[in-house]
Each structure stands twice: as C-alpha cells, then as structure tokens.
Amino acid sequence: MKIILAGGRRITYNLAKMLISKGSNVVIINKDKPFCEELARDVKALIINGDASKIEILQRAEIFENDIMLALTPQDEDNLIISQLCIKVLNVMNVYTLVNDPENVEVFNQLGIKNVISMTEMLSGLIEQRVSSRLTNIMSFEKGKGLVLQLTVEEKFPANGIMLKDLGLPKGAIIGAITRDEELIVPHGETVLKTGDRLAIMCKPSVQTKTVKIIAGKD
C-alpha cells in the first residue's frame, strides 16, 4: 500500500518525513520542479514532477484501489479534481482532501468526497476550547466530521432556564445528554436547562462557535 501526497509544500514535506519514519511507502506528486528537486535530496520517496489534477500524471504513480490519496494543494478546485479522478477513474477507496475554504466542505460532500479536512474548522474548534474555560472534553468522530463538547451551564448564561426547544440551536447541533446532580438525563424539547448542568453537545465543526454562543452568550 502506498500513500500519495498530491500538491502542497511545507505540510507535504513534514507529513512525508513523518510517514516515512514510520515505514510507510510514500509517493509525492508536485508541479513545482524546484520543490521536487529539494524533496528528492531530503526525502526517501518517489517524487513525480507534474500536475496531479491530470489523469496521466496520476497514472504515473501507479495508484491502486487500496492506496491512500491525500490532495493537499492550496487550491480547492485542484483538490476537487484530484479527488474525483482518484475516486471515479482510478477507483481509489481511500481519498482524503484538504479544503482551504470551509464553505466548500458541503460542496465536496455533495460531490461524493466524504473524507474532507478543513484546517480552518479544526483550528476554530481548538481555539474555542482554549478561550472558553467552561468548554472541555472536546473530541472528534467520523474522521473529524463531528465533535462532542462538554459545557457547564452558569447562572448568567442566556440558555439558563430555557427549554431546549426554545434555544434555537443551529442545524447540525444537539444536546445529547445532561448531567445534573450526578444524574444522567436524556433531554427532550421541554427539558429546561439549569445552573450547574453539564451538557454533552454533539455538533458539526462548522456550527460549534454558533452553538456555544447561543448557550453561553460568548463570542
């Protein structure tokens, strides 16, 4: 099994070094010739100088169904083309793509590309966790498509004393469980939030900030 890194610069270099150190068979495709020459001097991988958004370049990498493709270019359009060629023409099962503009995540999903990595959304989630001392236990699931957050309700929160159905949580966010006085509650629409409630929130990364703001009233 090979891991193919298409496009990108510093992220590609660092990722290649890490993967190779762990024994992975890495192939790098990049249209920047000087960068390819630099990689060839420093990285023990097959380096292909060419545009990965062109099928003839991808075919030079001899990509098989069980290989892993990572589209890492700074252009979402190129990453989309690379991913679709791998999925629809080369029948590659494991395709991951970097999306630079988080608004394009849904577009990629609709076009059949499910393993989408949005650095903006990931960093936003980490920042949200750090700036709010009340937000803890953040973790992701389904390869980063969903998050689980824990938030403790304080007296001054706008959500305090409000029924769940009246919160106006965005689509893609739910409060899945509440711990109140050490008792676990599976909430419903008429459950009223109270001071001290520990909320287990499941949401998409794209609505995390809005969800926390609705509950805690913080930017």
**What's the rounded Cα separation, in Å, for the pair 151 and 136?**
6
Q: Residues 52-60: what's their mean pLDDT? A: 95
Percent pLDDT > 70 in the chain is 89
pTM of the model: 0.60
- Beta strands 183-185; 173-180: pairing state: antiparallel
- Quick one: pLDDT at residue 133? 47
Degrees (nearest 5) of the Cα angle 112, 113, 118?
Answer: 145
The answer, yes or no, to whether residue 113 has pLDDT greater than 70, is yes
Q: In the predicted model, what is the mean pLDDT of residues 131-160? A: 76
How far the first Cα of the chain sits from its last, in Å, is 45
Domains of the chain from N-terminus onward: 2-114 (3.40.50.720), 121-216 (3.30.70.1450)
Task: Map residue 57 onto helix, strand or coil.
Answer: helix
**Which of 27, 108, 89, 95 has its CA nearest to residue 60?**
27
For residue range 166-216, list pLDDT tens digits in order: 999 999 999 999 999 989 999 999 999 999 999 999 998 888 888 989 999
**Cβ atoms within 10 Å, residue 201:** 21
| 98 to 5, 120, 144: CA distances (angstroms) | 11, 10, 12
* pLDDT confidence of residue 46: 95
